[in-house]
Protein backbone atom coordinates (compact mmCIF):
# COMPACT_ATOMS: atom_id res chain seq x y z
CA UNK A 1 0.00 0.00 0.00
CA UNK A 2 1.30 3.48 -0.73
CA UNK A 3 2.02 5.87 2.08
CA UNK A 4 -1.15 7.69 1.17
CA UNK A 5 -3.14 8.27 4.34
CA UNK A 6 -6.47 8.19 2.60
CA UNK A 7 -5.72 4.75 1.22
CA UNK A 8 -4.96 3.32 4.65
CA UNK A 9 -8.18 4.69 6.05
CA UNK A 10 -10.11 3.35 3.10
CA UNK A 11 -8.62 -0.14 3.50
CA UNK A 12 -9.44 -0.12 7.20
CA UNK A 13 -12.97 1.00 6.56
CA UNK A 14 -13.58 -1.54 3.78
CA UNK A 15 -12.02 -4.67 5.30
CA UNK A 16 -11.30 -4.53 9.03
CA UNK A 17 -13.61 -5.27 11.96
CA UNK A 18 -13.25 -3.08 15.02
CA UNK A 19 -14.77 -3.89 18.44
CA UNK A 20 -18.58 -3.86 18.43
CA UNK A 21 -18.77 -2.40 14.98
CA UNK A 22 -19.73 -3.15 11.43
CA UNK A 23 -17.67 -3.03 8.20
CA UNK A 24 -17.57 -0.30 7.03
CA UNK A 25 -17.56 1.36 10.44
CA UNK A 26 -20.61 3.21 11.66
CA UNK A 27 -18.46 5.94 13.18
CA UNK A 28 -15.13 7.61 12.33
CA UNK A 29 -11.76 5.92 13.11
CA UNK A 30 -8.76 7.96 14.19
CA UNK A 31 -5.39 6.69 13.06
CA UNK A 32 -2.72 6.56 15.77
CA UNK A 33 0.96 7.08 14.98
CA UNK A 34 2.35 6.55 18.47
CA UNK A 35 1.58 6.91 22.14
CA UNK A 36 3.77 8.10 24.98
CA UNK A 37 2.94 8.65 28.64
CA UNK A 38 -0.70 9.79 28.69
CA UNK A 39 -0.60 11.15 25.14
CA UNK A 40 -1.97 9.42 22.04
CA UNK A 41 -0.51 10.95 18.87
CA UNK A 42 -2.63 10.78 15.75
CA UNK A 43 -1.25 10.69 12.20
CA UNK A 44 -3.04 14.02 11.70
CA UNK A 45 -0.48 15.51 14.10
CA UNK A 46 -3.01 15.97 16.85
CA UNK A 47 -2.27 14.83 20.42
CA UNK A 48 -4.97 13.49 22.73
CA UNK A 49 -4.81 13.12 26.51
CA UNK A 50 -5.82 9.54 27.21
CA UNK A 51 -8.81 9.06 29.47
CA UNK A 52 -9.32 5.34 28.82
CA UNK A 53 -6.00 3.57 29.57
CA UNK A 54 -6.91 1.52 26.50
CA UNK A 55 -9.83 -0.10 28.34
CA UNK A 56 -8.41 -0.23 31.89
CA UNK A 57 -5.05 -1.67 30.86
CA UNK A 58 -2.35 0.99 30.31
CA UNK A 59 -2.07 1.96 33.98
CA UNK A 60 1.52 3.24 33.70
CA UNK A 61 0.91 5.13 30.46
CA UNK A 62 2.27 4.23 27.02
CA UNK A 63 5.80 3.52 25.87
CA UNK A 64 7.14 3.11 29.40
CA UNK A 65 10.93 2.64 29.48
CA UNK A 66 10.84 -0.14 32.07
CA UNK A 67 8.15 -2.10 30.30
CA UNK A 68 9.87 -1.61 26.94
CA UNK A 69 13.02 -2.92 28.55
CA UNK A 70 11.25 -6.02 29.91
CA UNK A 71 10.07 -6.92 26.41
CA UNK A 72 13.40 -6.32 24.69
CA UNK A 73 15.37 -8.21 27.35
CA UNK A 74 13.05 -11.18 27.08
CA UNK A 75 12.96 -11.30 23.29
CA UNK A 76 16.73 -11.88 23.24
CA UNK A 77 16.20 -15.15 25.10
CA UNK A 78 12.98 -16.33 23.51
CA UNK A 79 9.70 -14.86 22.36
CA UNK A 80 7.78 -18.03 23.03
CA UNK A 81 8.00 -21.72 23.81
CA UNK A 82 5.08 -24.05 24.38
CA UNK A 83 4.03 -24.51 28.03
CA UNK A 84 3.11 -28.16 27.65
CA UNK A 85 6.02 -30.08 29.17
CA UNK A 86 8.22 -26.97 29.32
CA UNK A 87 8.41 -24.16 31.83
CA UNK A 88 10.39 -20.94 32.25
CA UNK A 89 11.41 -18.23 34.68
CA UNK A 90 9.15 -15.45 33.31
CA UNK A 91 6.05 -17.56 34.03
CA UNK A 92 7.28 -18.77 37.41
CA UNK A 93 8.32 -15.29 38.58
CA UNK A 94 5.02 -13.80 37.47
CA UNK A 95 2.90 -16.52 39.09
CA UNK A 96 4.82 -16.25 42.36
CA UNK A 97 4.29 -12.50 42.34
CA UNK A 98 0.54 -12.77 41.64
CA UNK A 99 0.04 -15.41 44.32
CA UNK A 100 1.90 -13.27 46.85
CA UNK A 101 -0.17 -10.15 46.11
CA UNK A 102 -3.59 -11.83 46.19
CA UNK A 103 -5.34 -13.47 49.16
CA UNK A 104 -3.23 -16.11 50.91
CA UNK A 105 -5.87 -18.79 50.27
CA UNK A 106 -5.42 -18.42 46.51
CA UNK A 107 -2.65 -20.89 45.86
CA UNK A 108 -2.86 -22.17 42.27
CA UNK A 109 -2.80 -20.22 39.04
CA UNK A 110 -3.68 -20.82 35.38
CA UNK A 111 -2.30 -18.34 32.83
CA UNK A 112 -4.26 -17.68 29.64
CA UNK A 113 -4.42 -15.16 26.82
CA UNK A 114 -7.38 -12.89 27.49
CA UNK A 115 -9.99 -11.95 30.03
CA UNK A 116 -12.80 -13.87 28.35
CA UNK A 117 -10.67 -17.01 28.36
CA UNK A 118 -9.81 -16.47 32.04
CA UNK A 119 -13.56 -16.45 32.70
CA UNK A 120 -14.08 -19.61 30.62
CA UNK A 121 -11.30 -21.26 32.62
CA UNK A 122 -12.89 -20.17 35.91
CA UNK A 123 -16.25 -21.60 34.86
CA UNK A 124 -14.66 -24.83 33.70
CA UNK A 125 -12.84 -25.11 37.04
CA UNK A 126 -16.14 -24.74 38.89
CA UNK A 127 -17.82 -27.39 36.68
CA UNK A 128 -14.95 -29.85 37.00
CA UNK A 129 -14.89 -29.25 40.75
CA UNK A 130 -18.49 -30.40 41.22
CA UNK A 131 -18.10 -33.26 38.76
CA UNK A 132 -15.15 -34.47 40.79
CA UNK A 133 -17.25 -34.28 43.94
CA UNK A 134 -19.97 -36.34 42.29
CA UNK A 135 -22.55 -33.52 42.21
CA UNK A 136 -23.25 -33.76 38.50
CA UNK A 137 -26.42 -31.65 38.70
CA UNK A 138 -24.42 -28.61 39.88
CA UNK A 139 -23.87 -27.19 36.40
CA UNK A 140 -25.49 -23.77 36.39
CA UNK A 141 -24.04 -20.40 37.22
CA UNK A 142 -25.67 -17.59 39.11
CA UNK A 143 -24.87 -13.93 38.73
CA UNK A 144 -26.50 -10.51 39.06
CA UNK A 145 -28.00 -8.38 36.32
CA UNK A 146 -25.86 -5.58 34.91
CA UNK A 147 -22.65 -7.63 34.76
CA UNK A 148 -20.07 -8.07 32.02
CA UNK A 149 -17.70 -11.03 31.84
CA UNK A 150 -16.50 -11.15 28.24
CA UNK A 151 -17.53 -12.11 24.72
CA UNK A 152 -17.00 -15.87 24.50
CA UNK A 153 -19.99 -18.17 24.95
CA UNK A 154 -19.81 -19.16 28.60
CA UNK A 155 -18.81 -15.59 29.50
CA UNK A 156 -21.71 -14.19 27.46
CA UNK A 157 -24.16 -16.46 29.27
CA UNK A 158 -23.48 -14.54 32.51
CA UNK A 159 -23.43 -11.04 30.98
CA UNK A 160 -26.48 -8.87 31.59
CA UNK A 161 -29.44 -10.62 29.92
CA UNK A 162 -30.78 -7.38 28.40
CA UNK A 163 -27.66 -5.37 27.49
CA UNK A 164 -25.69 -8.53 26.82
CA UNK A 165 -26.23 -10.59 23.70
CA UNK A 166 -28.79 -13.06 25.02
CA UNK A 167 -31.57 -12.32 22.55
CA UNK A 168 -29.20 -12.64 19.59
CA UNK A 169 -27.88 -16.03 20.65
CA UNK A 170 -31.02 -17.35 22.30
CA UNK A 171 -30.92 -21.13 22.42
CA UNK A 172 -27.13 -21.15 22.09
CA UNK A 173 -26.27 -19.76 25.52
CA UNK A 174 -26.41 -21.90 28.63
CA UNK A 175 -29.41 -20.75 30.68
CA UNK A 176 -28.05 -19.23 33.89
CA UNK A 177 -29.66 -17.84 37.03
CA UNK A 178 -29.90 -14.07 37.50
CA UNK A 179 -30.57 -12.10 40.66
CA UNK A 180 -31.44 -8.40 40.63
CA UNK A 181 -28.47 -6.11 40.26
CA UNK A 182 -27.03 -4.77 43.53
CA UNK A 183 -29.00 -1.62 44.32
CA UNK A 184 -26.96 -0.45 47.32
CA UNK A 185 -24.57 2.28 46.29
CA UNK A 186 -20.94 2.05 47.38
CA UNK A 187 -21.31 4.40 50.39
CA UNK A 188 -24.93 3.70 51.22
CA UNK A 189 -25.76 2.58 54.78
CA UNK A 190 -26.47 -1.15 54.75
CA UNK A 191 -30.02 -2.45 54.84
CA UNK A 192 -30.52 -6.24 54.97
CA UNK A 193 -33.23 -5.90 52.29
CA UNK A 194 -30.47 -5.17 49.75
CA UNK A 195 -29.45 -8.82 49.75
CA UNK A 196 -32.94 -10.38 49.97
CA UNK A 197 -33.44 -11.06 46.27
CA UNK A 198 -29.93 -12.49 45.90
CA UNK A 199 -30.39 -14.72 48.96
CA UNK A 200 -33.76 -16.05 47.81
CA UNK A 201 -32.51 -16.70 44.27
CA UNK A 202 -29.46 -18.52 45.58
CA UNK A 203 -31.48 -20.55 48.06
CA UNK A 204 -33.98 -21.77 45.52
CA UNK A 205 -31.32 -22.75 42.95
CA UNK A 206 -28.54 -24.01 45.22
CA UNK A 207 -28.83 -27.68 44.19
CA UNK A 208 -28.11 -26.85 40.55
CA UNK A 209 -25.51 -24.15 41.06
CA UNK A 210 -21.80 -24.70 40.49
CA UNK A 211 -20.80 -21.12 41.22
CA UNK A 212 -21.79 -17.52 41.65
CA UNK A 213 -19.81 -15.20 39.39
CA UNK A 214 -19.59 -11.46 40.04
CA UNK A 215 -17.50 -8.39 39.40
CA UNK A 216 -16.53 -7.22 42.89
CA UNK A 217 -17.67 -3.68 43.87
CA UNK A 218 -17.56 -2.23 40.33
CA UNK A 219 -19.83 -3.45 37.55
CA UNK A 220 -17.75 -2.31 34.59
CA UNK A 221 -18.80 -2.62 30.96
CA UNK A 222 -22.31 -3.62 32.08
CA UNK A 223 -23.04 -0.13 33.42
CA UNK A 224 -20.20 1.34 35.48
CA UNK A 225 -22.00 0.99 38.82
CA UNK A 226 -20.33 0.83 42.24
CA UNK A 227 -21.98 -1.24 44.97
CA UNK A 228 -21.53 -1.71 48.69
CA UNK A 229 -18.75 -3.92 50.09
CA UNK A 230 -21.34 -5.26 52.55
CA UNK A 231 -23.25 -6.74 49.59
CA UNK A 232 -20.14 -8.67 48.55
CA UNK A 233 -19.60 -9.83 52.14
CA UNK A 234 -23.14 -11.17 52.23
CA UNK A 235 -22.64 -12.90 48.86
CA UNK A 236 -19.60 -14.68 50.27
CA UNK A 237 -21.47 -15.67 53.44
CA UNK A 238 -24.39 -17.09 51.41
CA UNK A 239 -22.10 -18.98 49.02
CA UNK A 240 -20.48 -20.69 52.00
CA UNK A 241 -23.86 -21.37 53.61
CA UNK A 242 -25.35 -22.96 50.47
CA UNK A 243 -22.20 -24.69 49.28
CA UNK A 244 -21.74 -22.82 46.01
CA UNK A 245 -18.33 -21.65 44.74
CA UNK A 246 -17.63 -17.93 44.38
CA UNK A 247 -15.84 -16.69 41.25
CA UNK A 248 -14.76 -13.05 41.35
CA UNK A 249 -14.01 -11.37 38.04
CA UNK A 250 -11.40 -8.68 38.83
CA UNK A 251 -10.41 -8.29 35.19
CA UNK A 252 -11.41 -4.62 35.19
CA UNK A 253 -10.99 -3.76 38.87
CA UNK A 254 -7.70 -5.51 39.61
CA UNK A 255 -4.34 -3.79 40.12
CA UNK A 256 -5.46 -0.72 42.03
CA UNK A 257 -8.17 0.80 39.85
CA UNK A 258 -10.88 0.78 42.54
CA UNK A 259 -8.62 2.23 45.25
CA UNK A 260 -7.69 -1.21 46.62
CA UNK A 261 -5.13 -3.45 44.94
CA UNK A 262 -8.03 -5.88 44.38
CA UNK A 263 -11.62 -4.74 44.88
CA UNK A 264 -12.52 -7.82 46.96
CA UNK A 265 -10.29 -6.33 49.69
CA UNK A 266 -13.07 -3.78 50.39
CA UNK A 267 -15.18 -6.70 51.66
CA UNK A 268 -12.31 -8.54 53.29
CA UNK A 269 -13.26 -11.85 51.66
CA UNK A 270 -11.57 -14.46 49.53
CA UNK A 271 -13.16 -15.99 46.42
CA UNK A 272 -12.69 -19.65 45.51
CA UNK A 273 -11.66 -18.58 42.02
CA UNK A 274 -10.32 -15.19 40.86
CA UNK A 275 -9.97 -13.83 37.30
CA UNK A 276 -7.35 -11.22 36.41
CA UNK A 277 -6.58 -9.57 33.07
CA UNK A 278 -6.62 -6.11 31.48
CA UNK A 279 -4.01 -4.15 33.54
CA UNK A 280 -1.95 -7.30 34.16
CA UNK A 281 0.67 -6.41 31.51
CA UNK A 282 0.28 -2.63 31.88
CA UNK A 283 -1.49 -2.66 28.53
CA UNK A 284 1.44 -4.14 26.59
CA UNK A 285 0.19 -7.57 25.61
CA UNK A 286 -2.81 -9.79 26.01
CA UNK A 287 -2.52 -11.91 29.14
CA UNK A 288 -4.90 -13.10 31.85
CA UNK A 289 -4.90 -15.38 34.85
CA UNK A 290 -7.32 -17.54 36.81
CA UNK A 291 -6.35 -18.24 40.42
CA UNK A 292 -7.98 -20.76 42.73
CA UNK A 293 -7.72 -22.23 46.18
CA UNK A 294 -5.87 -25.40 47.11
CA UNK A 295 -9.24 -27.07 47.76
CA UNK A 296 -10.58 -26.33 44.25
CA UNK A 297 -7.39 -27.53 42.59
CA UNK A 298 -7.02 -30.64 44.77
CA UNK A 299 -10.62 -31.65 44.11
CA UNK A 300 -10.27 -31.24 40.34
CA UNK A 301 -7.06 -33.23 40.33
CA UNK A 302 -8.67 -35.97 42.41
CA UNK A 303 -11.65 -36.41 40.07
CA UNK A 304 -12.14 -37.73 36.57
CA UNK A 305 -10.05 -37.40 34.40
CA UNK A 306 -7.65 -36.13 37.07
CA UNK A 307 -6.58 -33.24 34.87
CA UNK A 308 -7.81 -29.75 34.28
CA UNK A 309 -8.97 -29.76 30.67
CA UNK A 310 -7.60 -26.55 29.24
CA UNK A 311 -4.33 -25.56 27.55
CA UNK A 312 -4.01 -22.63 25.15
CA UNK A 313 -1.29 -22.72 22.47
CA UNK A 314 0.20 -19.46 23.71
CA UNK A 315 -0.24 -20.24 27.40
CA UNK A 316 2.19 -18.25 29.57
CA UNK A 317 3.86 -16.55 26.61
CA UNK A 318 7.27 -15.43 27.96
CA UNK A 319 7.13 -11.94 26.45
CA UNK A 320 3.74 -11.30 28.02
CA UNK A 321 4.81 -12.82 31.37
CA UNK A 322 7.98 -10.70 31.47
CA UNK A 323 6.18 -7.47 30.78
CA UNK A 324 3.43 -8.43 33.26
CA UNK A 325 5.99 -9.07 35.98
CA UNK A 326 7.62 -5.70 35.32
CA UNK A 327 4.26 -3.95 35.28
CA UNK A 328 3.19 -5.49 38.57
CA UNK A 329 6.56 -4.68 40.18
CA UNK A 330 6.35 -1.14 38.87
CA UNK A 331 2.85 -0.84 40.33
CA UNK A 332 3.90 -2.11 43.74
CA UNK A 333 6.84 0.34 43.85
CA UNK A 334 4.95 3.28 42.34
CA UNK A 335 2.91 4.67 45.21
CA UNK A 336 -0.24 3.81 43.26
CA UNK A 337 -2.42 4.28 46.35
CA UNK A 338 -1.61 7.99 46.48
CA UNK A 339 -1.88 8.33 42.70
CA UNK A 340 -5.32 6.71 42.64
CA UNK A 341 -6.63 8.69 45.60
CA UNK A 342 -5.38 11.97 44.07
CA UNK A 343 -7.08 11.04 40.80
CA UNK A 344 -10.29 10.27 42.73
CA UNK A 345 -10.21 13.70 44.41
CA UNK A 346 -9.66 15.55 41.14
CA UNK A 347 -12.32 13.54 39.29
CA UNK A 348 -14.83 14.25 42.07
CA UNK A 349 -14.07 17.96 42.12
CA UNK A 350 -14.05 18.45 38.34
CA UNK A 351 -16.87 16.20 37.16
CA UNK A 352 -19.26 17.71 39.74
CA UNK A 353 -19.61 20.62 37.28
CA UNK A 354 -22.15 18.67 35.19
CA UNK A 355 -24.07 17.07 38.04
CA UNK A 356 -27.00 19.51 37.81
CA UNK A 357 -26.97 19.76 34.02
CA UNK A 358 -30.28 18.76 32.38
CA UNK A 359 -29.66 15.48 30.56
CA UNK A 360 -27.22 14.23 33.20
CA UNK A 361 -28.63 11.44 35.38
CA UNK A 362 -25.68 10.86 37.73
CA UNK A 363 -22.03 11.60 38.34
CA UNK A 364 -20.01 9.08 40.35
CA UNK A 365 -16.39 8.41 41.21
CA UNK A 366 -14.63 5.46 42.82
CA UNK A 367 -10.86 5.19 42.84
CA UNK A 368 -9.49 6.21 39.45
CA UNK A 369 -12.86 5.75 37.74
CA UNK A 370 -15.08 8.74 36.89
CA UNK A 371 -18.54 8.31 35.38
CA UNK A 372 -21.04 10.78 33.93
CA UNK A 373 -24.29 8.94 33.26
CA UNK A 374 -26.67 10.66 30.83
CA UNK A 375 -30.42 10.19 30.50
CA UNK A 376 -30.15 9.04 26.88
CA UNK A 377 -27.60 6.95 24.98
CA UNK A 378 -25.07 9.14 23.15
CA UNK A 379 -24.73 9.27 19.38
CA UNK A 380 -21.15 8.07 18.95
CA UNK A 381 -20.84 9.49 15.44
CA UNK A 382 -21.48 12.95 16.94
CA UNK A 383 -19.77 12.88 20.34
CA UNK A 384 -16.58 10.99 19.42
CA UNK A 385 -15.24 13.64 16.99
CA UNK A 386 -16.14 16.32 19.57
CA UNK A 387 -13.88 14.68 22.17
CA UNK A 388 -11.07 14.44 19.63
CA UNK A 389 -11.52 18.07 18.55
CA UNK A 390 -11.31 18.96 22.26
CA UNK A 391 -7.99 17.12 22.62
CA UNK A 392 -8.99 14.11 24.74
CA UNK A 393 -9.54 10.41 24.17
CA UNK A 394 -12.82 9.44 25.83
CA UNK A 395 -14.91 6.62 24.41
CA UNK A 396 -18.44 6.51 25.80
CA UNK A 397 -20.86 3.62 25.52
CA UNK A 398 -24.62 3.84 25.78
CA UNK A 399 -25.51 6.51 28.34
CA UNK A 400 -22.10 6.40 29.95
CA UNK A 401 -19.35 8.95 29.47
CA UNK A 402 -16.55 7.72 31.67
CA UNK A 403 -12.84 7.88 32.27
CA UNK A 404 -10.21 5.69 33.90
CA UNK A 405 -6.92 7.44 33.12
CA UNK A 406 -3.42 6.01 33.55
CA UNK A 407 -2.32 6.31 37.21
CA UNK A 408 0.71 8.31 36.06
CA UNK A 409 -1.36 11.24 34.77
CA UNK A 410 -0.17 14.52 36.33
CA UNK A 411 -2.58 17.05 37.80
CA UNK A 412 -2.62 19.59 34.92
CA UNK A 413 -3.26 16.82 32.38
CA UNK A 414 -6.02 15.31 34.50
CA UNK A 415 -7.64 18.72 35.01
CA UNK A 416 -7.48 19.30 31.26
CA UNK A 417 -9.00 15.87 30.64
CA UNK A 418 -11.86 16.49 33.09
CA UNK A 419 -12.56 20.02 31.84
CA UNK A 420 -12.67 18.86 28.23
CA UNK A 421 -14.92 16.00 29.26
CA UNK A 422 -17.26 18.44 30.98
CA UNK A 423 -17.12 20.88 28.04
CA UNK A 424 -17.83 18.10 25.54
CA UNK A 425 -20.81 16.81 27.52
CA UNK A 426 -22.22 20.35 27.69
CA UNK A 427 -21.61 20.93 24.00
CA UNK A 428 -23.15 17.57 23.08
CA UNK A 429 -26.25 18.01 25.28
CA UNK A 430 -26.76 21.56 23.98
CA UNK A 431 -26.68 20.19 20.43
CA UNK A 432 -28.88 17.20 21.27
CA UNK A 433 -31.53 19.54 22.71
CA UNK A 434 -32.14 21.05 19.25
C1 LIG B 1 -12.92 -6.78 29.78
C2 LIG B 1 -13.52 -7.73 30.72
C3 LIG B 1 -13.59 -9.11 30.42
C4 LIG B 1 -13.12 -9.69 29.11
O5 LIG B 1 -11.76 -9.50 28.90
P6 LIG B 1 -11.16 -9.59 27.39
O7 LIG B 1 -9.69 -9.48 27.59
O8 LIG B 1 -11.77 -8.45 26.65
O9 LIG B 1 -11.58 -10.90 26.84
C10 LIG B 1 -14.14 -9.95 31.37
N11 LIG B 1 -14.59 -9.47 32.54
C12 LIG B 1 -14.54 -8.16 32.86
C13 LIG B 1 -15.04 -7.70 34.19
C14 LIG B 1 -14.02 -7.25 31.95
O15 LIG B 1 -13.99 -5.94 32.26
Q: In whole angstroms, what is the distance from residue 129 CA to residue 270 CA? A: 18
Do 297 and 198 belong together in one domain? yes
Do 346 and 383 belong together in one domain? yes
- State the catalytic residue, choosing from 50, 113, 160, 249: 249
Is the pTM higher than 0.85? The answer reads: yes
Q: Catalytic annotation on 5?
A: no
Residues with beta carbon inside 6 Å of ligand 1? 114-116, 119, 148-150, 215, 220-221, 249, 251-252, 277-278
- State the catalytic residue, choosing from 62, 129, 148, 266: 148
- The answer to whether residue 105 is domain-embedded is yes
Do 339 and 329 belong together in one domain? no
Do 260 and 240 belong together in one domain? yes
Residue with the smallest CA separation from ligand 1 atom 5 is 115
Do 50 and 180 belong together in one domain? no
- State the catalytic residue, choosing from 138, 260, 278, 399: 278
Do 226 and 87 belong together in one domain? yes
Do 247 and 362 belong together in one domain? no
Edge-to-edge strands of the sheet including 106-112? 106-112, 288-293, 273-276, 245-249, 209-214, 140-144, 177-179
Distance between Cα 134 and ligand 1 center (Å): 31
Residue with the smallest CA separation from ligand 1 atom 7 is 115
| Under 8 Å between Cβ of 275 and 115 | yes
- The answer to whether residue 19 is domain-embedded is no
CATH of the domain at 415: 3.90.1150.10
Do 295 and 279 belong together in one domain? yes
Domain of 379, in residue numbers: 31-60+335-433
| Under 8 Å between Cβ of 60 and 257 | no
Domain count, the chain: 2
Q: Catalytic annotation on 148?
A: yes
Do 416 and 300 belong together in one domain? no
Do 45 and 97 belong together in one domain? no
Q: Catalytic annotation on 20?
A: yes
DSSP one-letter string for 112-131: ESSHHHHHHHHHHHHHHHHH
Distance between Cα 162 and ligand 1 center (Å): 18
Last residue of a domain, one of 333, 351, 377: 333
- The answer to whether residue 303 is domain-embedded is yes
How far is CA 380 from its chain centroid?
22
- The answer to whether residue 246 is domain-embedded is yes
Last residue of a domain, one of 299, 333, 367: 333
Q: Catalytic annotation on 233?
A: no
CATH of the domain at 73: 3.40.640.10
Q: In whole angstroms, what is the distance from residue 116 CA to residue 100 CA? A: 24
Residue with the smallest CA separation from ligand 1 atom 8 is 115
- The answer to whether residue 7 is domain-embedded is no
- The answer to whether residue 288 is domain-embedded is yes
- The answer to whether residue 17 is domain-embedded is no
**pLDDT for the residue 2:** 55
* Residue 192 host element (H or E): none
- The answer to whether residue 23 is domain-embedded is no
Distance between Cα 183 and ligand 1 center (Å): 22
Residue-level pLDDT, tens digit, the chain, 434 residues: 555 778 999 999 999 999 999 999 988 999 999 999 999 999 999 999 999 999 999 999 999 999 999 999 999 999 999 999 999 999 999 999 999 999 999 999 999 999 999 999 999 999 999 999 999 999 999 999 999 999 999 999 999 998 877 888 988 999 999 999 999 999 999 999 999 999 999 999 999 999 999 999 999 999 999 999 999 999 999 999 999 999 999 999 999 999 999 999 999 999 999 999 999 999 999 999 999 999 999 999 999 999 999 999 999 999 999 999 999 999 999 999 999 999 999 999 999 999 999 999 999 999 999 999 999 999 999 999 999 999 999 999 999 999 999 999 999 999 999 999 999 999 999 997 76
Last residue of a domain, one of 333, 358, 390: 333
Do 126 and 53 belong together in one domain? no
Which atom in ligand 1 lies closest to the alpha carbon of residue 55?
Answer: 1
What CA–CA distances, in Å, run from 420 to 14, 49, 158, 351? 32, 10, 35, 10
| Under 8 Å between Cβ of 425 and 357 | yes
Which of 115, 123, 154, 275 is the best mutation target for the ligand 1 pocket, counting ligand atoms within 8 Å of the beta carbon and taking the most? 115
Residue with the smallest CA separation from ligand 1 atom 15 is 252
Do 299 and 344 belong together in one domain? no
Amino acid sequence: MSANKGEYSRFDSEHIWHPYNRVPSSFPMFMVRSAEGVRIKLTSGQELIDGMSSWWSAIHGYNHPRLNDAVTRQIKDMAHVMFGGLTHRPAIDLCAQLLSLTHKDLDKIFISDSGSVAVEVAIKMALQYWQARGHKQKRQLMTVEGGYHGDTFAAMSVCDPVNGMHHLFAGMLAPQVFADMPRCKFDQPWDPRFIENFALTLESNKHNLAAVILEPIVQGAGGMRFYSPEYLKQVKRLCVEYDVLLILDEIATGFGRSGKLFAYEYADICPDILCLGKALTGGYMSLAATLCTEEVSRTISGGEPGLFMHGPTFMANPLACSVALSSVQLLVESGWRDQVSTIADILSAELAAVRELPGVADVRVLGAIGVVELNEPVDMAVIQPMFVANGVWIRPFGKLVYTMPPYTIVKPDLEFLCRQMVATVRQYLAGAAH
